[in-house]
Amino acid sequence: PNGSFLRPAGEQLAGGYIIYGPQTYIVVTFGAGVQSYIFDPDTNAWRLVETAHKVPVKAFEFAINASNYRHWSPAIRAYIDDMIAGETGPRDTNFNMRWVASLVAETHRIMSRGGIFLYPGDERKGYERGRLRFVYECAPIAFLIEQAGGQATDGHDRIMTQQADTLHARTPFVFGSAEKVSRVTAYQDLPANEVNALFGNRG
């Protein structure tokens, strides 16, 4: 019965999210860009507000649960260390950290302001593949983000090229502005002793 869901993420027909607050928003893709709609209570209808929503390219925010720092891989630690170092570090830029522990809220901020979200796997038992579910959390968001010009990976490879083997399978998840996600992949794909050599000496 789960066969329809356990297919490559690239076969999705649609992906998106609904966010509730002072306004009710739908942000959705059907594979030809991203559209945004706001619910209009006066007409009881959805109003199209963005026909080609794009993830901002330049941004200075990152989202990660820093309380797990001690459990991360050396590459993820190095990436975060370099952003925290700000303009005195190898990135030569000051960054702000955000973390609200809501995938939809984090996605909406990135769609609006750019930046990067990371929920990597780590050394804790049960967290080797992160905590987010591939089928109904990461794959739809990855589809949306790529259609908006961003990138979405498991830290190494595109989510959209993968598929889950169980309905509740987990995956590490990194998504957001394309350049930032690509940089995480570069850190991850290097041997630990080469990260400093390429991205600067952290002393």
Tally the residues of the chain.
203
Q: Give tens-digit pLDDT for 11-24.
A: 999 999 999 989 99
63, 101, 113, 152, 165 from 98: Cα distances, Å? 5, 9, 12, 18, 32
Strand order across the 116-119 sheet: 96-98, 61-63, 116-119, 173-176, 151-153
User: Can you read off the two tokens belonging to residue 200?
Assistant: 């600067």
Model pLDDT, residue 4 = 84
- Domain ranges, ordered by start, for the chain: 9-50, 61-199
Domain 61-199 fold is D-Maltodextrin-Binding Protein; domain 2 (3.40.190)
Dist. CA 71–CA 12, nearest whole Å: 33
pTM score, whole prediction:
0.91
Q: Give tens-digit pLDDT for 141-181.
A: 999 999 999 999 999 999 999 999 999 999 999 999 999 99
For residue 203, name the pLDDT band (cuts at 50, 70, 90): very low
Q: What are phi and psi of 88, to 5 degrees?
A: -90, -5
Tracing tokens 């979200």 back to the chain, one arrives at 117
For residue 188, name the pLDDT band (cuts at 50, 70, 90): confident
